[in-house]
Amino acid sequence: MTKKSNNKIFIFLPDGIGLRNFAFTNFHNLGLEKGFEIIFWNATPFNLESLGFKEIKIENPRIHPLTEFYKNAQIQIELNQNIVRANDTVYDTYRFPLTNKNVKSFIKNTVHKFIIFLNNSPQGLNRIKEKINLHERKTKLYFDSLKTLKQEKPALVFCTNQRITAAVAPILAAQDIGIPTATFIFSWDNLPKGIKIIKTDFYFVWSEHMKNELQYYYPEINEGQIYITGTPQFEPHFEKQFIVSKQTFFKEYGLDLSKKYICFSGDDVTTSPNDPQYLLDVAKAVAQLNAKGYNLGIIFRRCPVDFSDRFDFVLEKYKNIIISIAPLWKNIGDTWSTVLPTKEDLILQMNTIFHSEFVINLGSSMVFDFVSFKKPCAFINYEVVNKNFPNWSVEKIYNFIHFRSMPSKDSVYWFTNPAELGKQIEKILGANDTTVVKNAQHWFEIINQHPPQKASERIWKAIEEITKKEL
Helix residue ranges, H only, 364-448: 366-371, 394-398, 421-430, 435-447
Residue 138's contacts (CB-CB under 8 Å, 6 or more residues apart) are 64
In degrees, to the nearest 5, what angle opens at C-alpha 81 toward C-alphas 92 and 223? 120
Q: How do 339-340 and 330-331 pair as beta strands? A: antiparallel
Give the span between the Cα atoms of 281 and 262, in whole angstroms: 13
This prediction's pTM: 0.94
Provide the β-strand partners of residue 340: 330
Give the pLDDT confidence score for residue 471 in this predicted structure.
55
Counting as low any pLDDT under 70, the low residues of the chain are 1-5, 333-338, 470-471
The 3-state DSSP class for residue 220 equals coil
CATH code for residues 236-447: 3.40.50.2000
- Quick one: which of 276, 327, 333, 284 has its CA closest to 305? 327
Buried-exposed string 138-168: b where 16+ CB fall within 10 A, e elsewhere: ebebbebbbebbeeeebbbbbbbbbbbbbbb
Per the CB < 8 A criterion, the answer to whether 42 and 189 are in contact is: no
Residues in the chain: 471
CATH topology of domain 8-63+139-231+452-467: Rossmann fold (3.40.50)
- Quick one: which of 201, 183, 226, 318 has its CA closest to 264? 318
How many CB atoms sit inside 10 A of residue 53's CB? 16
| Residue extents of the structural domains in the chain | 8-63+139-231+452-467, 67-134, 236-447
CA distances to 87, 91, 141, 419 from 415, rounded to whole Å, are: 31, 26, 49, 10
CA distances to 138, 242, 257, 299, 360 from 254, rounded to whole Å, are: 55, 20, 9, 11, 21
Q: How do 226-228 and 339-340 pair as beta strands? A: unpaired
Buried-exposed string 295-322: b where 16+ CB fall within 10 A, e elsewhere: ebbbbbbbbbbbeeebbeebbeebeebb
Asked whether the bond before 219 is cis by omega within 30 degrees of 0, the reply is: no
Residue 55's contacts (CB-CB under 8 Å, 6 or more residues apart) are 39, 40, 41, 42, 47, 48, 49
Give the pLDDT confidence score for residue 10 in this predicted structure.
98
Give the pLDDT confidence score for residue 24 in this predicted structure.
93
Helix residue ranges, H only, 137-179: 140-152, 168-176
Cα 150 → chain centroid: 32
Exposed (0-12), middle (13-18) or buried (19+): which is 371, by Cβ within 10 Å? buried
Where are the extended beta strands (E) located within 101-218? 156-159, 181-184, 202-205
Amino acid at 83: I
- Quick one: which of 350, 164, 170 has its CA closest to 249? 350
Sign, CA dihedral 21-350-455-447, equals negative
